[in-house]
Structure 1
Amino acid sequence: MGAGGGPPTSGGSGFVSPALPLLGSRLVPTMKPLQGEVSIPLQPPERGATPAAGPAEQPRDYVVWSLFNVLLGYGLTYLGCLCFPALVYSIKARDCKVLGDLEGARLHGARAKLWNVVCSLLMVLIVVIIIIMIAVI
């Protein structure tokens, strides 16, 4: 603090540099915010709000179905490794949807759906074969 409780002064001249205030005996540069900062909203848009281009349907990502197939595939029929690509594609679809790439999310979501259908059918088929084998023996 300068004399009389005012702001710090450089030397005895009474001049205060607004860009470089004194801190003890060192000069400390002050940080000024940039004027053109970009703000990214962290909250999703309100539920009732529609985009200006029209209501676009959000693509599905099938993460729950993929996770169910992977866990059930490993637990029952050891087909979890075949169901793993569905989980990868569904996570990619969710990432694209979060980033706003709706076309990429649709593409990955369609691939995840295909892999999920194939894995589900294979698991049902194998479980039916196992039940038939147990009944015959």
Structure 2
Amino acid sequence: MNHNSQHFFPGAHNGIPPTYEMLKEEHKVAVLGAPQSSAPVTTTVINIRSETAVPDHIVWSLFNTIFMNWCCLGFVAFAYSVKSRDRKMVGDMTGAQTYASTAKCLNIWALVLGLLLTTGSIVLLVFVYATAYSVFLKSMQENNGYH
């Protein structure tokens, strides 16, 4: 047994034989060791950066560039998407978010404007063809003598 731990118990230096509780406490002190020194405890802090997903909307911009490029909005949105991806690769998340937000806004406008102009063009073509067809039928009736 440890010589130093016997001095903590009453009766250990009086010549009285130790009881079971005294031996148990002496064993705990021997296992735990001496009290720690009052030296300052050094800690290490590791900052783990959470990767916030900044969408760059590059696929949407590419789609708008190919199919909905009215007023070149799809192309401009694609350029901002590429800038956003570049900023993200460098680690500038604020810049990437700014460029991505602009690309998203341009993509929305390109999509809405593209859908409206495409739908309007189709409706205009249907009216033009319907009018041309009715004029064609009227001229055929006049040529055949049907009045």
TM-score band, normalised by shorter chain = 0.5 to 0.7
The RMSD of aligned alpha carbons is 1.9
What's the TM-score, normalizing by structure 2? 0.51
2:8 counterpart residue number: none
Aligned-pair CA distance for 1:71: 0.9
Are 1:122 and 2:113 an aligned pair?
yes
1:57 counterpart residue number: 52
Aligned pair count? 83
The code of the aligned residue for 1:60 comes to: P
Aligned-pair CA distance for 1:119: 0.4
Q: 1:62 touches 1:113 (CA, 8 Å); kept in 2?
A: yes
Secondary structure of the 1:131 match is: helix
1:86 counterpart residue number: 77
Q: 2:73 touches 2:109 (CA, 8 Å); kept in 1?
A: no
Aligned-pair CA distance for 1:132: 1.0
Unaligned residue ranges in structure 1 (runs of 5+) = 1-50
Bigger CA radius of gyration:
2
Q: 2:73 touches 2:107 (CA, 8 Å); kept in 1?
A: no
1:111 counterpart residue number: 102
What's the TM-score, normalizing by structure 1? 0.55
1:14 counterpart residue number: none
Match of 1:73 among 68, 90, 104: 68
Name the structure where helix makes up a greater proportion of residues: 2
